[in-house]
Structures are given as structure tokens and as C-alpha cells.
Amino acid sequence: MSKNKSKAVVIAGPTSSGKTKLSLMLAKKFNGVIISADSRQIYNDLNIATAKIKPEEMQGITHYMVDISDITDRFTAAKYQKMARGIMLGIHIQNQKNDTKIIPFIVGGTGLYIKAVVDNYDFKKTVQQDPLPYDFLQIGIDVPREELYDRINKKTEEMVENGLIDETKKLISKGYDFTLSSLSALGYIQIKDYLEGIISLPEAISEMQKLSRNYAKRQLTWFRADKRINWIKDFSEAKELIKVFLS
């Protein structure tokens, strides 16, 4: 690892694995900021089905890459990479000037977004950009499969209880095209089908739960393939890994 580099931590894992809670605890412990790596939380007005953190839940931790794009915009991995790189380069410049270092925590379940930053994807550009001046520690949250599925099922029910139907009604009233990639987030299409009488609410919830479990499987397949990811079970394990990484 280079002394001229800053350090960043990736917190990855499938949906409902506890990334938000863990990242807040770690960011508070290690003077961190959080850069979301979630391909749906970037959109304005998509809050409940995306499990977007509320401002009052951020505990004073700066969050980037949340609520930065309109639903109708086409937001690509290349655009994410460019914006995240800009944020991280700015932090690196600050770190070069100050004794107290800021640690970016890249947090999310969109594996392509994470790899685009960590591995400096060129997206078919004619000129290869320089790698970020960072060393990365990648951490994955390991949750037993049955526990994960139970969390997903409960989280889905909580989304409906917490206003997913009303949120979907607002999206419909604004005339949004539900074939937009932004609205492919699990939940909105199923609730729209319920509101249009195509399926019952229990059927909508069951479908959301099934699709979320399948999505979690795909996320785990992606992350498990990256042997650089250190799998942890709790805050203490993550904290010790980061202490060693920063020392």
C-alpha cells in the first residue's frame, strides 16, 4: 500500500443484509462519509421500495449519490463512476492537506457500480483514465441464507405498511412510464398491478418477496466471485479489519 494514497472501504452485500446500519456505525467510528452504490437510491421520489435512508437517520454522516437524478433520466454505470470518482478525488485532495483523514465508505448492493470504481472500468473509452489514488478494503456482510430470506420477507411487508402503496399512487398520478429502468425497482410494478386490479395485495407482496430473494441470490453470486471481499458477520469483525487496514 502506498503512503501517498488515501484509503476507502467498500461495504457490500445483498438486499436486507444490514449495509445501512453497519456503514453508519463504521463511518462514525472511522471519520467516514458514505458514497451510496445503489442503482435505485440515486433517483428522486423513489424512497420506500429502494429502502432509501432518511435525512434524519443519517446521524450527521455525509451521504453522497442519493437523490441525484430524476426518474426519467438514464443513469448509467459510467455516469456513476464519473461522479463517484469526482467525490473521491476531492476527498483525497483534502486528505493530502489535513492530518485527520476522511474515509469514504462505498456502500451498496449494485456490484457493477462498485467494480466500476474499484477496478477503474474504462467503458470503451478511447483514453484510459488513471486509477483512483486509493487503496481499497472490501467487506461483505455474511448473513445465513434462511435469516436473509426472513429479513427480506419482513422488509417487504414493512414497505407496504410504511406507505409503498401511496408512494406508487403518486408515481402513477405524475404519469411516469413504469417501463423506465428507474421504476424497475422491486415493488413499484407489483403495487401498480395491485392498484389496477390485476393481482391482489397478498399476491403483490408474495411476488415482491420472491423477486427480492432471487435478486439477493444474484447479488451473492456476483460478490462471492470477487475473492478480494472479506466476509464478516458483525460490526466487531468489520471494525478490526478496518483498524488493521488503516494502520
Point out the residues of the chain with pLDDT beneath 50.
1
**pLDDT confidence of residue 124:** 83
- Give the pLDDT confidence score for residue 2 in this predicted structure: 57
Show the CA angle centred on residue 149, arms to residues 198 and 140, nearest 5°: 125
Look at residue 126 in the predicted model and tell me its pLDDT: 67
Q: Closest Cα to residue 105, out of 139, 72, 155?
A: 139
- Find cell 437517520 and name the residue: 57
b (16+ CB within 10 A) / e for 118-151: beebeeeeeeeeeebebebbbbbbbbeeeebbeb
Rounded to the nearest 10 degrees, how much is the dihedral formed by the CA atoms of 166, 151, 141, 32? Answer: 40
- At residue 3, the pLDDT reads 63
Q: How far apart are CA 61 and CA 28, in angstroms?
A: 7
Residue 184: the pLDDT is: 78
Cell triple for residue 109?
Answer: 448492493
Pairing of β 32-36 and β 6-12: unpaired
> In sequence order, which residues have a C-beta less than 8 Å from that of residue 109 and are 6 or more positions away?
12, 13, 14, 15, 17, 19, 37, 38, 219
For all residues of the chain together, what is the average pLDDT? 94
CB 19 within 8 A of CB 12: yes
How far the first Cα of the chain sits from its last, in Å, is 11
Q: What is the pLDDT of residue 1?
A: 47
